[in-house]
Structure 1
């Protein structure tokens, strides 16, 4: 009888532990970027359940990516090149949502009077974060101006240190993105190139570990749905949404409104097109990005980006409408 009771108690503890594990929130890496802000808006409006989704904030994408790679995060808002790198490193990343196309929110700024255009960067000191997307923006700008990376002096500078590097005179130009772009403008820097000149090439996505997607599809669906709900609220109530989001980014509502005009936040319907099939425009963007990464030695061998694109969550949301 005693043994039976002990067995029953042990079974109860095991079941309780299993239930607790099942309720552990999805750990989602984020950083300061206007395109990912709809998920914070959704959380604050109650569209996202805190017990299901835990948003973890980082100052740099590099650190967020490392923690995703090391298993400290289940999902991360990142750039498409990051997904390719994760695949190259032997992980099984799944792109379950395309959040935006950058149409001016990534840029190169420079010191007025010293650098008037990209062609003037020859021999100049250029601050760039140690990320492929920043190197890609710089590489495409130099290519259009007939220059090579070897024509400039690269200064590796984390994004949260770029304003200081510029104001102290350590660099002549900076490759950056919003909201840091606005801070550099406020410091007097002028844009000489931005992502609107390479439309469709800078893409931001939500990446999830394949094992997490298989084990916890409902939580991943809740996360994706939350971002889409936040996006819809921003579209339908722009003034209220921008006023709510701007403090977290350290900007004014008018500045954030200007930033958002430089992004195309993608709908559920657009995601269906981008994440499905071999003719996906996103696949074409990934292949172009991969060619650049191979050329610059940022990838050692070609990847299979079509294996990363996973439309199942978006399709489930579409069917549930």
Structure 2
């Protein structure tokens, strides 16, 4: 769920140029059947429980529609399916909503925020004792992912100019833990759970220099939809939102009410109750729509989106044709626009959270 690469973004820019016109015209109509995709990550797992428990069907029936929810093995592939119009909504990291479909020309709305990383993402070292010690050193990470963003924020918040002051080394999320533990030449790394937990546990000399709890809200996980699909089919957004918060209410309640949700999530994540707890403990879930609405409409969220767009442009994730950080317009929940108001491609839509918070679903 965390891997957005420059090459992937550029590929999507190319493919979207071909697809955008047909997707937009196909989406601009009322329909009764919808597909939602998500990849295996703690912040998205309630979506699977919604399906298995019948909660999603109950809400879909209320609005006279059908919603098919499906896990997708390939995170980037799921975003490509969304771009192609094969999925009506998909779970992504907030940064990827901007650098993939939005940067590729698909008018995209963040309409459901699930959580933010509250310690899942970690910058660690076997030898450095502070972030400042990383100057001119190698840092292994998945380049152009949220790990790259985390590193940049850590450097800036510790008085440095950003990632230009270190030497980043790209490595896949599948390889980083084993490489960090086996190779003494790899001293510094950034990763997310479960890899980061394995790396810290397996290399006892490792020290956490910075983690996502120090930048609350910035590494957020969301469900995005095609803006036109949501506009033409508000029942889809309402049903999915209603089912989500019914499920989160059970999770928040704890005890017997939360047990079936926790059991499902642990099994789907390939872990046990203790393993699930370590992931939930460093994930800030928006358990109620009121909490989500406050976050989405907070001025701080606008600042976060501004930081994300600046980082993304600086790393070339807007594509070769973008000559300015303002090339892509981002409409915030209050209607304020960051970037080009004539080219709004990402929208923060708090209307469903507000509707749910006000009991209007």
TM range (shorter): 0.7 to 0.9
Deviation (angstroms), 1:99: 1.4
Residue 137 of structure 1 and its aligned partner are, at CA, apart by: 0.3
What SS does structure 2 have at the residue aligned with 1:78?
A: strand
Which of 196, 200, 203 in structure 1 is aligned with 2:220?
203
- Cα shift readout 1:268-319 (whole Å, capped 9, x = no counterpart): 012233445xx64322321232233334443433233226022333344334
Aligned partners of 1:101 and 1:202 also within 8 Å: yes
Q: Is the contact between residue 33 and residue 178 of structure 1 (CA under 8 Å) also seen in structure 2?
A: no
Structure 1: give runs of 5+ residues left out of the alignment. 1-20
8 Å CA contact retained: 2:35, 2:86: no
Q: Runs of 4+ in structure 1 displaced over 6 angstroms? A: none
Does 1:283 find its partner at 2:302? yes
CA shift, 1:94, in A, is 0.5
Work out the CA distance in 1 between the residues paired with 2:266 and 2:198: 14
Q: Summarize the Cα distance change of 1:273–1:304 in structure 2 as closer, same or farther, 3 Å threshold.
A: farther
* Cα distance, 1:115 vs structure 2: 3.6
1:120 maps onto 2:121 in alignment: no
Within 5 Å, which residues of 2 pair with 1:95-134? 95-110=110-125, 112=126, 114-134=127-147
**Structure 2 unaligned spans of 5+:** 1-29, 61-65, 333-346
Q: Is the 8 A contact 1:115 1:121 kept in 2?
A: yes
> Residues 72 and 184 (structure 1 numbering): CA distance in 2 closer, same or farther, change over 3 Å?
farther
Residue from 166, 171, 192 that aligns with 1:152: 166
Deviations 1:86-106 (A, max 9, x none): 323221001111211222121
Match of 2:155 among 142, 146, 157: 142
Deviation of the 1:132 alpha carbon: 4.2
Question: CA–CA distance in 2 between the matches of 1:40 and 1:216?
Answer: 22
CA distance in structure 1 between the aligned counterparts of 2:308 and 2:112, rounded to whole angstroms = 18
CA 190–63 in structure 1, closer or farther in 2 if over 3 Å, else same: farther
SS in structure 2 opposite 1:160?
coil
Range moving further from structure 2, 168-177 or 83-92 = 168-177
The alignment's C-alpha RMSD in Å is 2.8
Report the secondary structure of 1:58's partner residue: coil
Contact 2:42/2:279, CA 8 A, preserved across alignment: yes
Among 191, 197, 203, the alignment partner of 1:182 is 197
Please give the alpha-carbon distance, in whole angstroms, between the structure 2 residues aligned to 1:271 and 1:75: 18
Tell whether the 8 Å contact from 1:32 to 1:59 is kept in structure 2 after alignment.
no
CA deviation string 1:236-294 (max 9, x = no partner): 12561333311222233123213212222112012233445xx6432232123223333
Distance, in Å, in 1 between the alignment partners of 2:315 and 2:199 is: 28
**Under a length normalisation based on structure 1, what TM-score does the superposition of the two structures give?**
0.80
Per the alignment, in what secondary structure is the counterpart of residue 54 of structure 2? coil
Q: Does 1:32 align with 2:51?
A: no
For the residues of structure 1 that align with 2:81 and 2:170, how far apart are their CA atoms?
21
For the 8 Å contact 1:103–1:196, the answer to whether it is kept is yes
Distance in 2, matches of 1:252 and 1:184, equals 19
Give distance in 2, aligned partners of 1:235 and 1:63: 31
CA contact (8 A) 2:34 2:87 kept: no
Secondary structure of the corresponding residue to residue 305 of structure 1: strand
- Structure 1 residues 73 and 128, CA gap change in structure 2 (3 angstroms): farther
